[in-house]
């Protein structure tokens, strides 16, 4: 569990996420020392990560689907399909929606493209290289 706080005036911390849930979690831990780490949140994805996403997995999936099914989907349509199949769901008010990929943290974006790569291998029989395996 990762509780989130907002830093207010003069260093005061305000809970952003469920304090009761965090409190219950702490109560469930055995007696002993705990470590509390305070750091800035992970940044959003980088331009290089974005270039990889659009240039490798999304382009390869688009080409494979268009070839295999005789379609002519564009890259934006494939992106929307991948978001629907593998994107992060979030509640906004009482509505469940997909989180914009532009707002993914670095780890969320890596997890997202990992799901796409696994799906492509299983469903499309398409091997998509990882970022360290291609020049971007």
**pTM of the prediction?**
0.67
pLDDT at 20 (0 to 100):
75
Q: Is the pLDDT of residue 21 over 70?
A: yes
Spatial distance between the Cα atoms of 3 and 68, rounded to a whole number of angstroms: 45
pLDDT digit string, tens, across residues 67-108: 999 999 999 999 999 999 999 998 888 888 999 998 888 889
Taking residue 60's Cβ as centre, other Cβ atoms within 10 Å add up to 19
pLDDT at 66 (0 to 100):
97
Rounded to 10 degrees, the C-alpha dihedral 24/26/27/29 comes to 130
Higher pLDDT, 103 or 3: 103
């Amino acid at each position: 569990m990762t509780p989130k706080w907002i830093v207010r005036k003069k260093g005061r911390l305000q809970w952003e996420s469920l304090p009761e849930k965090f409190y219950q979690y702490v109560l469930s831990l055995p007696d002993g020392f705990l470590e509390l780490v305070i750091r800035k949140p992970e940044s959003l994805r980088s331009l290089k990560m974005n270039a990889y996403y659009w240039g490798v997995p999304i382009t390869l999936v688009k080409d494979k689907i268009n070839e295999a099914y005789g379609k002519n989907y564009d890259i934006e349509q494939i992106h929307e399909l991948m978001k629907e199949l593998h994107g992060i769901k979030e509640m906004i008010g009482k509505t469940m929606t997909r989180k914009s990929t532009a707002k993914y943290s670095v780890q969320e974006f890596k997890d997202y493209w990992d799901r796409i790569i696994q799906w492509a291998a299983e469903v499309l029989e398409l091997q998509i290289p990882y970022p360290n395996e291609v020049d971007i």
